[in-house]
Structure 1
């Protein structure tokens, strides 16, 4: 069964986790690297598990794995073999599954929340380039070439036991189409498609979010449609645009409101003045049903969502 549908039939909201990389940096990790948080799969996998556990404790119903920037090509570029790269990609799921199982086994009250799921992060081709292309989408690849790029990682993540694929920060409809075509090679597997957006109406490369939602609406393996790693100020309009074109669950997990500088691999500006919980509540009222945070958000932000969700 579609794992998102399975949760939403019994609960009004599915709460996602927040930023993984932000938490690892806060705990002393240096991820200023082309592999970003995936670097910790080699250096500190136990810490990844601890962060997943902290998000579950904060109220998250879903852990997004540390595989966003984990690709065969990226690891091979760092000197690993293809088999070693695939092993690390699978490890990202295994870490999250163990954290989920251990957390759930230790939880005394299991009736007031769903058993959390593990969403395997499938970052865009631009994340592998590590030059900010996931916020531009100006690839020079064809749709078929994108399928070839994504296939080994997607297969490894599925083989490792992920409950669903989190196809996230997608900057262009062409890449979303490629991923949906690839999903057809894995019957019974579901994924959500979440775009990065540059304003209230357009995803990063300029495609209209409404057109993206309209195209995705007829594909059964797409479990939810939405946006992530986008400033909170754009979210209300984007939800309305998506809602006008699809009856699928809407997923939103914006960043803190800061802007990413690809040249320095750092975040600039200031976060939104609105509390994350307050913002998420307004997104729920507009129709979003999967809520969480992306870059620069923390377990405390997820707690603010959980605080009002439990009273719906």
Structure 2
């Protein structure tokens, strides 16, 4: 069954969700940034918001959502939230239930819309698991410095405990995220071998497209992951500069490709004779090649405060030629696209002649820090043109069917409005809903 799932997913082009933690920072009344539990504190203090954020990502067109557990472990949650270890474990399981609740709610909404241009793939729930450094809440996942105080056995035990909790709660796969160390990748591979029926992806944090944040060459990490059949995908996420994503993907995928000549410099894929695949010791393994994935930050840069003693931590800035409306265009350069053409698609002019296309494409693409539903709508429209709303003529539809399809379109275009409005906008009031859209009126919480 495990190999069948992997074989099916390798045929699919999927959109991942965005930065869950940064969306919590934006929408929560509680302080998230700087808290030791980060967004995981909402599992205890505002679980309804967790569910609503999942829904907003799903409504934007995502096919995979990740649980709100990136920075969670039983011990760290227990200390940060002043609860017992048993309660902390239950919170991690509850994170999966909240994600499942959101999926069920959105599926029900979409079934009411009855649009022929609806979702083509079943939604997957990924159990988000950050590196050991992420759970320390000190930023060490961006350097890997914590490895000095950890043994291989420590890393295996730490990650296995968290993975077992999420698998017991019913995630479809595990998402090992923002990993800076090759030794930690090896520990995660060992965990996956110990867990029956577990499958997942692993994503590396890289600042230069050549090495991980800790300095390990990406192609060496890819060789390590290639040995673990339970990890079906590999990629990069978080703070990698957008223009270096093609280089990172090439280094991660180059171990399979027959690109010549290859070299022994330690920072690029080795000569063909030393690569897995057609030129290696695994020539007949059908599941050895991994899916490539990428989910990068918005492109903003963090400027820290000048004084470490200051309560003001810093601020974000947009570099030149970047901005919130350009993120999806940047990601689409590295993304595969379903081969269905829809005339008059809103993505027909998405690229200009100046946009350079990456020779290496990622099959599963999404966003990381500070990427919200608004940006993912644009990416989903590019990657999945067969799911874009396309109105039929009035002669092909009854009046009631027209309202239902218009409701689907309106819900997609309102992905950035308040969730309370969307929740209350039912089929019964769709007519008024569409009239307001056409007249350009804005919504507020008092509208419905």
Q: Could you say what secondary structure the match of 1:283 adopts?
A: coil
SS for the counterpart of 1:192 is: strand
Contact 2:366 2:376 in 1 (8 A): yes
Q: Cα 1:254–1:288, aligned 2, differ >3 Å: closer, same or farther?
A: same
Contact kept, 8 Å, 1:217 with 1:245, in 2: the verdict is no
Could you give the per-residue CA deviations for residues 37-78 of structure 1, whole angstroms, max 9, x where no partner exists?
111111111101101111111000001110001111112213
* Match status 1:269 vs 2:317: yes
Match of 1:194 among 203, 206, 226: 203
Q: Deviations over 1:194-238 (max 9, x none)?
A: 011121211100001111112211211001000110232321110
1:155-304 matched pairs, under 5 angstroms: 155-230=164-239, 231-246=241-256, 247-259=289-301, 268-270=316-318, 273=322, 275-284=326-335, 286-304=360-378
Contact 1:20 1:66 in 2 (8 A): yes
Q: Which residue of structure 2 lines up, in the alignment, with residue 26 of structure 1?
A: 26
CA RMSD of aligned residues (A): 2.0
Counterpart in the other structure of 2:260 = none
* Contact 1:104/1:115 (8 A) holds in 2: no
Matched residue of 1:288: which SS? coil
Residue in 1 aligned with 2:74?
A: 72
TM-score (norm 2): 0.66
**2:385 alignment counterpart:** 311
Corresponding residue of 1:15: 15
Maintained 8 Å contact 2:193/2:228:
no
Alignment partners' CA distance in 2, 1:50 and 1:112 = 19
Shift of 1:5: 4.2
Compute the displacement of 1:245 (Å).
1.7
Where in structure 1 are there 5+ consecutive unaligned residues?
Answer: none
Matches of 1:71 and 1:308, distance apart in 2? 36
Per-residue deviation at 1:137? 0.7
Q: State whether structure 2 residue 40 is matched by structure 1 residue 57.
A: no
Range 137-146 or range 22-31, more displaced = 22-31
The higher relative CO (CA closer than 8 Å, separation ≥ 6) is in 1
**What is the distance in 1 between the residues matched to 2:315 and 2:156?**
30
User: Which structure: larger Rg?
Assistant: 2
- Contact 2:301–2:316 (8 Å) recurs in 1: yes
Alpha-carbon spacing, 1:184–1:267, altered in 2? closer, same or farther (3 Å): farther
User: Aligned-pair distance for 1:22?
Assistant: 1.7
Distance across 2 between alignment mates of 1:101 and 1:4: 23
Q: Is the 8 A contact 2:28 2:49 kept in 1?
A: no
Gaps of 5+ in 2: 257-288, 336-357, 387-448
User: Cα deviation per residue 1:113-160 (whole Å; 9 max; x = unaligned)?
Assistant: 211100010111001111111000122211111111122211100000
**Aligned pairs (5 A) from 1:109-124:** 109=115, 112-124=119-131
CA separation of 1:156/1:266 partners in 2, compared to 1, >3 Å: closer, same or farther? farther
Q: Distance in 2 between matches of 1:280 and 1:4?
A: 24
